[in-house]
Structure 1
Amino acid sequence: MKKKILTFMLLLVIAGVVMIAGHEIGRHMHKAEQNTETTEASVDYSLYYTYEDVEKVVSYLADTKAESEALSRLIDPLKKSEIIDVAFVKSVAQTIQVKASIYEEALNGKKDSDYMTKAEFEDFYERIVASATVKGLLRKDVLVLAISEEDKTSFFDGQDTYNAEFEIDESYEGNVLDVYMKNGKIFKINRLGDTQITLQNVWVESVTDGKCTFLYGNLEKTYPARTEEGIPDGAVTVATSLDADRQTEAGYETAGYVANLVFDYAGICKIERPQKVLRGKVISTGDTDIQVENIGGLTLGDYYKMYNVYEDAVDEESLSLLLGYSYVDMYLQDGKVGAVVINQELKSEDIRVIISNDDYSSYEMEMVQFTATSAFTVAYPDETEKTYEAGETVTITPEDYAPDDTLTVTPDTHSGRIRLLSVTRECGNPEYDGTMELDVKDGYIYVINELSLERYLANVVANAMPSDYPDAAMQAMAICARGTAYAKLKDESYAEYHAHLDDSSLCQVYNNVAETDASIRAVKDTYGLVPTYRGTLIVPMTFNTSFGTTCTNAEIWGGDAYSYLESNVENLDKDKIDLSDEADFEAFLTESDAYTIIDKDSPYYRWDITFTQEEMTDAIETVLENRKSLMADAILVEDETGEFVSADVPELGTVTEIEVAERTVSGVVSKLVIHGSEHTISISGQSNIRAILNPVNQEIVRQDGSTVTGWTSLPSPYYYVEKTDAGFVVHGGGFGHGAGMSIYGAGVLGRQGKSYKYILRHYFSYVDFASIYTMDDGEEAADSE
């Protein structure tokens, strides 16, 4: 019994101990729960990053694919919403093999299980970036000068374009930002930047009401400008004294000025004025300097700019253009030219162009309707004038005026253009610079556009050459076009129309399409330049595509050959070849691989036209009488003796054979004999040679397989005719007459890095260059030698 009592008492003690222990454990667990609830409730999550917050920026720390994958594995997909801790950032550093000494101060002695605050993580991240451990990763301050209108993820800082992985908010324009970027691409905006960034050589138009309006490049912007010393509040007019020892004027005033704009986190904080302003005439230009009359050489600064503020402020790029002004203003900083300002009209010859109707068949207009892009004034024959608003339409008919009456249309601003609504071109209703003269004569109106030669050329170049051609090719085209136009100023071919030339391919195609930035730049880059031979202006002819040779003018139009035009193979070596033999010509046309022909990739390098016998007969009969009326001596009829004589055009009958009777050294067909079942005729003259085999109803199949139709003459005079069972096939090559510069070839040479001088000397042997604004009036075109 005693033993049982002891056992029972022992069990009671054990039970008591268990109860006490359980109570204590429960009490401690409850306390722990209370502590946990208190800790979580006290965390300010705004002070911390989650794994999801930092996942992307951490990914930019990877240099390799292996590192990228390893960093990705550090983040548990199920714990992205949890706060990052010290252990995580240490793992990041170890993964990209960063020494602990680089980042350990950012950890502030924390344990691995401790949370990392945002400030601590950013400090950690910045230390890694600053260490340059990760290639292409950097932190910098950038100026958001202008956000792209097309792509809001890119912006321009005045020198370079930056791209971001997100759209840039417009509120950042005009401010300095602190950003992270990897391999040149911005992936994070940290905050507004602390650095001041200077935009050099800006044209400041005004500073008023706490805002600065300025022009830089093609950008016109208005940004906040804090009113401090150096930033006057109110309209700005600057009077700068000139160097009296070097200039004829004591000083001048101009509305606006060149300055450096200093930007910070809140816009423009300072405007730095130039140290010195000079006025003078530029007499020559180089790549890095200009020569100024009575001053000497001035070096261009690294970030020099050119502004033309004559009427409307615009940015200029072509130094050659400076030669066209009697003076310019030069803003100097540290002894170098920071900016050049133009404030007068460009010196240029005026040219008068008679405008053709829609299909270029006549200059006679039964009605003329026009408006303008600006307000414009019409001067009427009764000496009255009326001003119209931009876009207002005016209609003129010859019935309302007397013979020989003249009306003149003038835009009220230099940038205004006259839009001719009664004429349609490829560009729609063409717009014209300058003035428009309407001459009433013989019941029709003749429209003459008068404008500066240089502005005319910008449009001619655009119509002659694609805008994506290299600059050197465009410059060569501009020089040729200027030479052609200048020669027309000296002759009287269009004097009966009170014009110098027309707007068709008879002279130079003008305003069929609008000018482009590339064509404008090419004309400015070559301001005034024309090609010369022994000091005399040449006739700079052009054509579209070479068939493999170039030729002399005599081979196309007869007369004496110009010394600067040669018959050559169209390769870099300008090899000589004789293709006057028919077999040699046909072999060259079909197998010219022995030469590296410059134009060989043009679609027009080779072409074919297929006719049935009936189609060929109809094609010739359709144009024969008209061609005879235009050039009677160039189309002869074979008589009974076998001689070719001048006679009325007979019935040919069915065309049975077409033979090339004569061919020039370069391969031009100079005489064609057409045999018909009734009569035989001979054809000569380059235009006849191409037009007589009228392909208007046939497909012209080019070497790339593409086709064109509706042509009224062959693409070139380089061809032979094959007789087939079904009729005839005309095999040819090239597009155009072949004398002078190949436009396609100029593009090829430009893409090879050749200069405009090389290109022009390739096509015009031994030529030099001169400015029409310094040539003697007596220097005429070099027509022959």
Structure 2
Amino acid sequence: MSMRIKLIIIGICIVVVFIIGTININQKINGRKTEDHNFITVEDNIITKAEALRLLSYLYYDKAAREALTFDITYEDSQMSGWYDTYVNAAYHMGLIDKDITENPGEALTYGKCKSLMDNLILKEPGFQSIYQGLTFEFTNQDKDMATKDFLEIYQAILSDPGIGVVTPKPGGPTISPKPGDPTVTPKPDDTIASPKPGDTVRKTLLKEETLLVLGKDASGENPGRMITDQGKYYYTNSADYIKYLSPDPASQEEKDNLTAGEQQGNSDTGEKKGASTAGEEKDDPAAGQNGEQAAEEVSDLAERYLDQGIKALTCGQEIVYIWSLAEEEITLHNVWIKQGEASTLEVFVSGLDKTFTTQYKLSDSLQKVVGDITIKAKKVVQLSVKPDMIQGKVLRIGDGFIEIEGYGKLPMDENMKIYNIYSTLSEEPSTSILVGYENTSFIVSEGKVSAALITGMIKAENIRVLLMTTNYKDIYHSSVKLTGTGKFTVTAGGTAKTYKKGDVVTIEAGDELLKQGRITVEPVAEEGKIRILSIKRTSGNPWYRGHIEISGEDQGLILVNELPLEEYLYAVIPSEMPTSYGPEALKVQALCARSYAYKQLLSNGLSRYGAHVDDSTSYQVYNNIAENENSILAVKETYGQVIEYQGEVISAYYFSTSSGHTAGVSEVWINGNDLPYLEGKLLVSEGGQGSEGEGSEDMEQYADLSSEESFRSFIKAKGLPTTDSEFNWYRWEVTLSAQNLKKVIDANLKKRYEANPEMILTKVKDDGQGKEGFISQPVDTVGSIVDIQVVKRESSGIVSEILIVGSEGTVKVRSEYNIRTMLAPLYDEIVRQDGSSVEKMSLLPSSFFALDVNKKNDKLASITLNGGGYGHGAGLSQNGVKALAEQGKKYEEIAAYFYKDTDIGFIYE
């Protein structure tokens, strides 16, 4: 090869390398990642369609609602897809654009296209007609690319509308905040509420101005693209920096004055094209602007650019829409954990981050492991206030804005109260981490308020606190309480105790003088003694309680809490949940489940506002409805401390009475629930007999998926199918509900169920906000006469998760098994079980595993017939299935592992 040819080849290679390098540099400048080679050039300071739609989407949807929308748009070219897809889809759901996308969202927005978007918005919201008034630009040259500053001007006009209640200032202008008394409505996902209609106030809760101190980035890996601030964590992956357009600060004004002549003219010719974006690509950096306007020398990541600085941002939920100014004022970080301070250095733990700040002045004293407020300005600590006062005691209750601590009474909580775990790895914890009934937390008190809680040790979950309900479990508030004891007992109030002898009866009324001294405690003198509450009736009569009883007064009445050892609590749970005649192995399984469930509930702290962990009703586990006995006590003692674990964590041990032969997954029973790997729905049948695991059996294959009507009907009517529950009465049942009785039950429950679960009761409307028929969540109390009832959705386990009720005055879709069982309750009709026995006046349908048949007379609904199986929600362990397996000789560990997949036995008291 000649030297000349070699030089030509080398020259070509150099040119290729130069071109590739130039492209890569250009991409880095614009913060983009290339997925194809079809570049769309967009000028600096020109807004893209994608960015315009992103901004508009926040008028209706926050991040969760936007991502929950059904994805209905289609791109003419799949290469058009990009980071903006969910925003474009949201704009379609808002009625701003068509579902068929023929133009690349990455292209520049023209003034004409902007006018079209605004006109469509006004069609939905006629009140927005005023947004065109007072604009500093016109839409006359409709084919010209739109300046970013002009779009932001009209966007602020939208935000300034009284129907929004939030505004970002125009350049140099003031901030207008929401007015007191503005209504708030929490936005719902798309499957529960349609796009807002004219007059709706959903947007009032969406957009908000906030001043944030940027502390860093979320490095957890669970939620990438989140900025950590003093006010919480905010997603900022697609956020924009609009300081040069919107900041009222003089320093920013000079930059605005230097905008090109073309930018200032808006509709006139703009200058040379500088930026570039790529079709169908995502951002290479979380904070790169949508139009590529950052200069190459700028730090493109917003969290890094404004680290330790205050910013003013427009937010939507936990997402930053854009930054519009730097905050020049001082910002105070309240109740920070100060690790140590020396000279001019302060090491703190704040918002989950270890931070080191320089102080403006040297510290007069060294600091270590204290709580205090620090004030930041210009990245320095300019003020420090340490809070040294600490108290400790058993937490009795955590109410709305207060903590009740034994020996101190009710103390108000600082609105910026923090909770720190300081006994192991330093961390900031949620409010549920302060467990009632325990003393593992110290409290920092300042000016009479609790500023911080310091968790100083692990919980050894030995005691549980049970909220006691009235007779028939009607209420948590008692008008009065009447007590006695098996032996001597004391009544303590305000530190003064009075002793009563066996058989003495003490009555405490709401408003009793003793309650003015605080909480009243009633407890037996002898360790083995019990307190009997004569004002409560259960199946076993007036119940006896181990441990002690606490009585507190509220405006609604008296609250009763029984605190006792967890193991002794189980003595009276087991017989209330399972007949003790089921035998020792079955009772030991029940003990495992009950202990696991109680442990999880104890740590979740769900009833801390009442000073309890659980209540004694079916809302948790039934406690002391049937008194403890030798069998239940023995089952607890033989499984002392044992729980069911999955990968080292105690499981949520859901259980129910009787299966239909198939259990359900969590999300099939509780629609908003998260599926758990150990609670998968499974067919409890095989050719090997009750409860054996013959995965290859013909029955297993035939009935593994029961989501179709045909397969479920075949399953529910199959004879001689060997399952764990097939010998029990509730295994199969049938009921016919008359149209008249259906109406009575539905009318009695529809409003209640809507108020309890508004997202689960959906009403059919002619206009769902998108110009078509659909279902929305709105108040409803009747559908009139019942015309038809249909199964809308059946899960793979066979459980019905949605039904349609058609009435003369409306149609509703009812979701979730509990709501369905309530609406179809055989309160006035007789239900027949598989042995021919009948049951009346049931306030719930036995289960949601049923086939539905409509019976008509003269073309009108006369009744419906339900052929069903099982009793209870159907997730987890079947108690009657446990009995059957125990009778086959299986041990309690085997039985637990059968129902809870891949689990082991653990111990909670180690």
Pick the TM interval, shorter chain: 0.5 to 0.7
8 Å CA contact 1:404–1:441 kept in 2: the answer is no
1:553 equivalenced with 2:637 (yes/no): no
Determine the C-alpha separation between the residues in 2 that align with 1:473 and 1:443.
41
Task: Measure the CA separation in 2 of the matches of 1:735 and 1:410.
Answer: 39
For 2:500, the equivalent position in structure 1 comes to 388
> Pairwise mapping of residues 686-697 of structure 1 onto structure 2 (< 5 A)?
686-697=817-828
Partner of 1:570: 684
The residue aligned with 2:176 is none
Deviation, structure 1 residue 629 = 1.4
| CA–CA separation in structure 1 for the residues paired with 2:590 and 2:536 | 27
Q: Contact 2:751/2:781 (CA < 8 Å) preserved in 1?
A: no
Residue 454 of structure 1: which of 567, 570, 576 is its match?
567
State yes or no: 1:632 paired with 2:763.
no
Residue type at the aligned position of 1:736 = G
Distance 1:399 1:488, change over 3 A: same
Q: Distance in 2 between matches of 1:616 and 1:408?
A: 47
Indicate if the aligned counterparts of 2:493 and 2:517 stay in contact, CA closer than 8 A.
no
- CA separation in 1, counterparts of 2:556 and 2:705? 54
Q: Post-superposition shift, 1:616?
A: 1.6
Tell me the residue number matched to 2:622.
509
Kept in 2: contact 1:722–1:730 (CA 8 A)? yes
Instruction: Give the structure 1 partner of residue 877 of structure 2.
Output: 741
Which blocks of at least 5 consecutive residues in structure 2 are unaligned? 1-459, 686-691, 767-771, 857-861
Tell me which residue corresponds to 2:787: 656
Residue 720 (structure 1) aligned with residue 846 (structure 2): no
Q: Is the 8 Å Cα contact of residues 746 and 782 (structure 2) preserved in structure 1?
A: no
Read off the aligned partner of 1:770 and give its amino acid letter: G
**Secondary structure of residue in 2 paired with 1:608:** strand
- 1:369 is aligned to 2:369: no
* Kept after mapping to 1: 8 A contact 2:747/2:781: no
Taking the TM superposition and a 5 Å limit, the aligned residue runs for 1:100-499 are 349-381=462-494, 383-401=495-513, 402=515, 405-442=518-555, 444-499=557-612
Whole-angstrom CA distance in 1 between matches of 2:779 and 2:503: 55
Work out which of the two has the higher radius of gyration on C-alpha atoms and give 1 or 2.
1
Structure 1 residue 348: deviation in Å?
7.2
Say which structure, 1 or 2, has more relative contact order (CA 8 Å, 6+ apart). 2
d(CA) in 1 for partners of 2:589, 2:626: 20
Distance 1:495 1:408 in 2: 18
Query: How far apart, CA to CA, are the structure 2 residues paired with 1:683 and 1:447?
Result: 35
> In structure 2, the residue corresponding to 1:724 is in which secondary structure?
strand
Residue equivalent to 1:584 = 711
Find the counterpart in structure 1 of residue 909 from structure 2. Answer: 773
Deviation of the 1:742 alpha carbon: 0.4
Q: CA deviation at 1:635?
A: 1.1
Task: Measure the CA separation in 2 of the matches of 1:604 and 1:701.
Answer: 9
Write the distance in 1 (CA, Å) between the matches of 2:837 and 2:875: 26
Partner amino acid, structure 2, of 1:396: I
Q: Residue deviations 1:20-69, cap 9 Å, x none? A: xxxxxxxxxxxxxxxxxxxxxxxxxxxxxxxxxxxxxxxxxxxxxxxxxx
Cα distance in 2 for partners of 1:378, 1:651 equals: 50
Partner of 1:658, secondary structure, is strand
Give the match for residue 683 of structure 1.
Answer: 814
Matches within 5 A, 1:37-76: none
Return the offset for 1:745: 0.5
Contact in 2 for aligned 1:638/1:680 (Cα 8 Å): yes
One-letter identity of the residue aligned with 1:768: D
- Scaled by the length of structure 2, the TM-score of the pair is 0.46
| 1:419–1:431 contact (8 Å) kept in structure 2 | yes
Q: Distance in 2 between matches of 1:737 and 1:643?
A: 29
Cα deviation for residue 403 of structure 1 reads 5.3
2:751 partner SS: helix
Q: CA deviation at 1:592?
A: 5.1
User: What amino acid maps onto 2:656 in structure 1?
Assistant: F
Using the alignment, how far apart are the partners of 2:745 and 2:555 within structure 1? 35
The partner residue of 1:608 within 713, 719, 734 is 734
Deviation at 1:719, TM superposition (A): 1.1
Within 1, Cα distance between the matches of 2:639 and 2:583?
Answer: 14
1:171-211, CA deviations, whole angstroms, 9 ceiling, x for partnerless residues?
xxxxxxxxxxxxxxxxxxxxxxxxxxxxxxxxxxxxxxxxx
Of 734, 745, 749, the residue aligned with 1:623 is 749
Q: Match for 2:487: what amino acid?
A: S
Q: 1:404 to 1:440 in 2, by over 3 A?
A: farther
Q: Which AA in structure 2 matches 1:568?
A: K
Asked if 2 retains the 8 angstrom alpha-carbon contact of 1:650 and 1:679, the reply is no
For residue 742 of structure 1, what is the amino acid of its counterpart?
A: S
Tell me, in whole angstroms, the C-alpha distance in 1 between the residues paired with 2:634 and 2:784.
56
Deviation at 1:404, TM superposition (A): 7.4
Does structure 2 conserve the Cα–Cα contact (< 8 Å) formed by 1:358 and 1:424?
yes
CA RMSD of aligned residues (A): 1.6
Please give the secondary structure, in 1, of the residue aligned with 2:573: helix
Paired with 2:645 and 2:781, the residues of 1 have a C-alpha distance of 47
Q: 1:608 deviation in Å? A: 1.5
Q: Kindly provide the CA deviation profile for residues 425-460 of structure 1, in whole angstroms up to 9, marking residues without a partner as x.
A: 001000000111111122511111111110100110
Secondary structure in structure 2 of the residue aligned to 1:423:
coil
Cα separation, partners in 2 of 1:673 and 1:403, compared to 1, 3 Å: farther
* Conserved? CA contact 2:736–2:866, under 8 Å: yes
Deviations 1:281-324 (A, max 9, x none): xxxxxxxxxxxxxxxxxxxxxxxxxxxxxxxxxxxxxxxxxxxx
Q: 1:404, 1:439 within 8 Å by CA — same for their partners in 2?
A: no
The corresponding residue for 1:182 is: none
Written as runs of structure 1 = structure 2, the 5 A alignment for 1:753-768 is: 753-768=889-904
In the TM superposition, what is the alpha-carbon distance from 1:618 to its structure 2 partner? 2.0
What displacement does 1:642 show? 3.8
Matches within 5 A, 1:12-23: none
Could you tell me whether the CA contact under 8 Å between 1:546 and 1:599 is conserved in 2?
A: yes
Q: Distance in 1 between matches of 2:889 and 2:882?
A: 11
Runs of 5+ consecutive residues of structure 1 not aligned to the other structure:
1-346, 775-785
Shift of 1:645: 2.1
How many residue pairs are counted as aligned between the two chains? 426
Answer whether contact 2:829 2:841 (CA < 8 A) is retained.
yes
Determine if contact 1:365/1:446 at 8 Å carries over to the other structure. yes
Distance 2:798 2:683 in 1: 11
Q: CA deviation at 1:653?
A: 2.5
For the residue of structure 1 that corresponds to 2:582, the secondary structure is coil
Q: Quickly say closer, same or farther: Cα 1:647–1:442, change in 2 above 3 A.
A: closer
CA deviation map 1:160-180 (0-9, x unaligned): xxxxxxxxxxxxxxxxxxxxx
Residue 480 (structure 1) shift: 0.5
Tell me how far apart the structure 2 counterparts of residues 403 and 740 of structure 1 sit (CA, whole Å).
46
TM-score, reference length from structure 1: 0.53
Change (3 A) 1:550 1:415: same
1:544 aligns with 2:657: yes
Q: Which amino acid aligns with 2:670?
A: W
Percent of aligned positions that are identical = 38
1:400 is aligned with what amino acid? D
